[in-house]
């Protein structure tokens, strides 16, 4: 007897055997049990999630010799004929191959005739979005008012391409992409029934490689069984898929957390020895960073991985700053996109990791790039070109204190009252409080921490607690661990242990650094627009040629 692939052998034959589409099964089951059935159904979703399978089960339910039911017997002549693909009243049409209006006219003409064996004639149109516009127009009338013995079941992976006139005539069901846990559970069930030995890690790799499609997952499972000579081993699956073990990705992040370039390159070499799909490795790295960020910012989050993985991830979550995780994630995803532009995939992969290392913030007193003083270049001097982007990693000397503007009184400098060894002097305002915008810069608050700080205003100091005002709409940002991390940075800058307390205050919005910066940008834009309007050349163009300045098209030159 010839071998039957797993995706066909284990294709569900009843609604209860379907995986992950409970919302569709419930609606169809209730419709069949109550007799309230529509004449046209549209099933949408990515490949391999059960669209045509559901349609075939529905056809069996309508025509089973033991009566209409959500639970067809699976044994009568009709059920076995449907399962074998030879039931004459189930007409499966591949719209990708039969796109023309003549093909649809043939369907319409045949729809008028009564079913040959069953109670209903069922038309299953797969990839229905491939039909031409004339074909859709020919189908509309029959789709809206079909004979009572006809049911239309339409399936598509791209519902956006369907005319709204078709969508409005169908009951639409969106089939979900399956989760890796659902796919791996079905794989274990099949392998146990087939008496095939397997490793759990191998199942996990295949479930992730399936990308939400159970059919793709079972095809990969068939391939992996053949590759492993009848057994399923994690190393064999990784070699087949071009993937690497999770521990390799965690090793990369561990080296990044330590800022160890030599170890980072050693991890790259180890990964390259598996001849992996480097795009897939960057995907795994981005997925791991996503889990780390959830651990950092979502209280009580528990991952779905193995215990050892979760322990390692929790340790990395404590060592990496949340804003750095965001940066690494962005570099991983853009590096994935740019792999095709690299001289070769490995070079692109290594450069993505080196970019993470290069932009890793310096530790200690080293200023980040935005700490540098930028002075405008006089108009008479040429603007120097930028030779390279600097991202300091090593410890650097502290930035000089801000200089007073000409003609103004110098800002008084004060060391914190309880500081034993202050790291920097911080300017104070007229209230005797630290200047909040200067404190943000000196504490190096960037990324999510910087966004929180920029939208806050320093209201008062209560002992060793700084009270910060936030717009009520921003209060959800003031959560742990971000508040604790901000307090640590400010404490290091002031040289004393500081606590932070955020209070909702809609009146103090204009006093935040973010609000002042927005106001300055708007003033600069207005000045730039006025300068353009006053320009003699612009005025002559408006006068002589009826020209006009497009609103909001003028932007000030940024120094």
The enclosing H or E element of 152 equals: strand 150-156
Segments in 395-535 forming alpha helices (H): 436-442, 447-454, 482-494, 513-534
CATH number of 431-511: 3.30.300.150
CATH of domain 246-358: 1.20.272.10
Percent of the chain, pLDDT > 70?
85
Q: Which two structure tokens, joined as six digits, stand for 61?
A: 């339910």
pLDDT band at 246 (very low <50, low <70, confident <90, very high): low
pLDDT tens by residue, 536-555: 888 888 888 888 888 777 87
Torsion angles phi and psi, residue 159, rounded to 5: -65, -20
What's the rounded mean pLDDT across residues 522-533? Answer: 84
Task: CATH 3.40.50.300 in the chain: give the residue spans.
Answer: 6-174
> What percent of the chain is helix, strand and coil (3-state, nearest 5)?
50, 10, 40
Give the residue, 518 or 284, on which the prediction is more confident.
284
Min mean pLDDT across 100-109, 163-172, 184-193, 384-393 is at 384-393
Distance from C-alpha of 222 to C-alpha of 8, rounded to nearest angstrom? 11
Give the range among 74-88, 109-123, 193-207, 379-393 with minimum mean pLDDT: 379-393
Question: Quick one: average pLDDT of 207-232?
Answer: 89
Architecture of domain 6-174: 3-Layer(aba) Sandwich (3.40)
Between residues 167 and 304, the one the model is more confident about: 167
Decide if pLDDT at 266 tops 80.
yes
How far is CA 390 from its chain centroid? 29
**pLDDT for the residue numbered 99:** 67
pLDDT digits (tens, 9 = 90+) for 362-404: 543 333 433 433 333 334 334 333 333 533 333 334 444 444 4
Q: What pLDDT is recorded for position 304?
A: 56
pLDDT for residue 399: 44
Measure the CA–CA gap between 379 and 531, rounded to whole angstroms. 16
**Contact by Cβ (8 Å): 495, 419:** yes
Which of the two residues, 113 and 509, has the higher pLDDT score?
113
| DSSP assignments along 265-332, one per residue | HHHHHHHHTT---HHHHHHHHHHHHHHHHHHHHSTT---SS-HHHHHHHHHHHHHS-HHHHHHHHHHH
**pLDDT band of 262, cuts 50, 70, 90:** very high
3-state secondary structure of 14: coil
148 or 510: whose pLDDT is higher? 148
For 298-353, write each residue's pLDDT tens digit. 887 776 554 457 788 888 988 899 999 999 999 999 999 999 999 999 999 999 99
CA separation (Å) from 158 to 42, 66, 94, 124, 129?
A: 11, 36, 15, 16, 7
Pick the CATH number of 180-241 from 1.10.10.60, 1.10.8.60, 3.40.50.2000, 1.10.3720.10: 1.10.8.60
Q: How many residues does the chain have?
A: 559
Q: What is the pLDDT of residue 139?
A: 85
pTM assigned to the model: 0.56
Reported as a single tens digit per residue, the pLDDT across 123-136 is: 998 889 988 888 88
DSSP β-bridge partners for residue 502: 468
Distance CA 406, CA 99 (A): 77
Pairwise CA distance, residues 156 & 165, whole Å = 16
For residue 252, pLDDT over 80 is answered with: yes
The predicted pLDDT at position 365 comes to 37
Please give the mean pLDDT across all residues of the chain.
81
Where residue 67 falls (left for φ over 0; alpha for ψ -120 to 50; beta otherwise) is: left
Ranges 126-140, 212-226, 244-258, 506-520, most confident: 212-226
CATH 3.30.300.150 boundaries in the chain: 431-511
Residue 434, SS3 per DSSP: strand
Three-class SS of 49-97? CCHHHHHHHHHHHHHCCCCCCCCCCCCCHHHHHHHHCCCCCEEEEECCC
Q: Give the pairing of strands 40-44 and 171-174.
A: parallel
Q: Stretch 176-186: mean pLDDT, rounded?
A: 91
Judged by DSSP in three states, 149 sits in coil
Secondary structure letter of residue 232 according to DSSP: B
Q: Where are the alpha helices (DSSP H) in 195-243?
A: 200-209, 214-227, 234-241
Confidence at 448, pLDDT banded by 50, 70, 90:
confident
510 Cβ neighbours under 8 A, 6+ residues apart: 516, 519
CA dist 356 to 238, 322, 326, 351, 470, Å?
A: 26, 14, 11, 9, 32
95, 132 contact by CB (below 8 A): no
What would the mean pLDDT of 189-208 be, rounded to a whole number?
A: 91
Residue 501: pLDDT above 80?
yes
Label residue 108 by pLDDT band (50, 70, 90).
confident
Q: Which position has the token pair 């005539």? A: 169
Q: Half-sphere exposure of 303 toward its Cβ, with a 13 Å CA cutoff?
A: 21
> What stretch(es) of the chain map to CATH 1.10.8.60?
180-241
Using CA atoms, how far residue 543 sits from 90, 463, 527, 548, 549, in Å, is 74, 65, 22, 9, 12
The answer to whether 426 touches 414, Cβ cutoff 8 Å, is: yes
Q: What is the pLDDT of residue 508?
A: 62
Which residue would you say has higher pLDDT here, 480 or 111? 111
- pLDDT-derived band at 421 (thresholds 50, 70, 90) equals very low
Among 366-380, 428-442, 471-485, the range with the most confident prediction by mean pLDDT is 428-442
474 pLDDT above the threshold of 80:
no
């Amino acid at each position: 007897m010839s071998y039957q692939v797993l995706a066909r052998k284990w294709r569900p034959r009843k609604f209860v055997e379907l995986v992950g589409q409970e919302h569709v099964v419930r609606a169809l089951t209730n419709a069949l049990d109550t007799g309230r059935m529509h004449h046209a159904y549209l099933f949408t979703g990515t490949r391999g999630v059960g669209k045509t399978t559901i349609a075939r089960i529905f056809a069996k339910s309508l025509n089973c010799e033991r009566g209409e039911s959500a639970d067809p017997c699976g044994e009568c002549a009709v059920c076995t004929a449907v399962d074998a693909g030879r039931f004459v009243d189930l007409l499966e049409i591949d719209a990708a191959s039969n796109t023309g209006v003549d093909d649809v006219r043939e369907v319409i003409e045949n729809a008028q005739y009564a079913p040959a064996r069953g109670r209903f004639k069922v038309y299953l149109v797969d990839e229905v979005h491939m039909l031409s516009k004339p074909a859709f127009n020919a189908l509309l009338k029959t789709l809206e008012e079909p004979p009572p013995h006809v049911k239309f079941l339409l399936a598509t992976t791209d519902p956006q391409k369907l005319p709204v006139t078709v969508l409005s005539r169908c009951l639409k069901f969106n089939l979900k992409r399956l989760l890796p846990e659902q796919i791996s559970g079905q794989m274990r069930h099949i392998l146990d029934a087939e008496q095939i030995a397997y490793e759990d890690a191998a199942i996990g790799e295949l479930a992730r490689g399936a990308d939400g499609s159970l059919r793709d997952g079972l095809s990969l499972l068939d391939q992996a069984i053949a590759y492993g000579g009848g057994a399923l081993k994690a190393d064999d699956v990784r070699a087949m898929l071009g993937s690497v073990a999770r521990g390799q990705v965690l090793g990369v992040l561990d080296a990044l957390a330590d800022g160890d370039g030599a170890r980072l390159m050693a991890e790259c070499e180890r990964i390259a020895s598996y001849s992996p799909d480097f795009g897939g490795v960057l995907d795994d790295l981005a997925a791991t960073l996503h889990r780390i960020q959830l651990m950092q910012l979502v209280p009580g989050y528990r991952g779905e991985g193995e215990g050892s993985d979760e322990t390692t991830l929790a340790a990395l979550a404590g060592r990496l700053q949340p804003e750095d995780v965001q940066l690494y994630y962005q570099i991983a995803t853009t590096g994935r996109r740019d792999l095709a532009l690299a001289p070769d995939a490995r070079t692109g992969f290594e450069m993505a990791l080196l970019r993470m290392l290069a932009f890793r913030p310096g530790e200690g007193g080293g200023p980040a790039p935005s700490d540098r003083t930028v002075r405008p270049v006089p108009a008479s001097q040429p603007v120097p070109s930028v030779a390279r982007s600097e991202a300091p990693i090593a410890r650097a000397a502290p930035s000089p204190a801000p200089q007073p503007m000409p003609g103004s009184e110098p800002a008084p400098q004060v060391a914190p009252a309880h500081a034993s060894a202050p790291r920097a002097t911080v300017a104070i305002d007229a209230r005797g409080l630290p200047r909040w915008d200067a404190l943000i810069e000196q504490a190096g608050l960037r990324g999510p921490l910087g966004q929180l700080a920029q939208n806050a205003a320093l209201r008062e100091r209560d002992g060793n607690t700084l009270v910060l005002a936030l717009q009520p709409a921003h209060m959800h940002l003031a959560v742990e661990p971000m508040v604790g991390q901000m307090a640590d940075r400010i404490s290091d800058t002031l040289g004393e242990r500081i606590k932070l307390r955020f209070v909702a205050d809609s009146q103090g919005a204009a006093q935040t650094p973010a609000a002042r910066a927005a106001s300055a940008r708007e003033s600069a834009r207005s000045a730039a627009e006025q300068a353009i309007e006053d320009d003699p050349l612009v005025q002559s163009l408006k006068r002589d040629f009826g020209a006009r300045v497009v609103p909001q098209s003028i932007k000030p030159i940024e120094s």
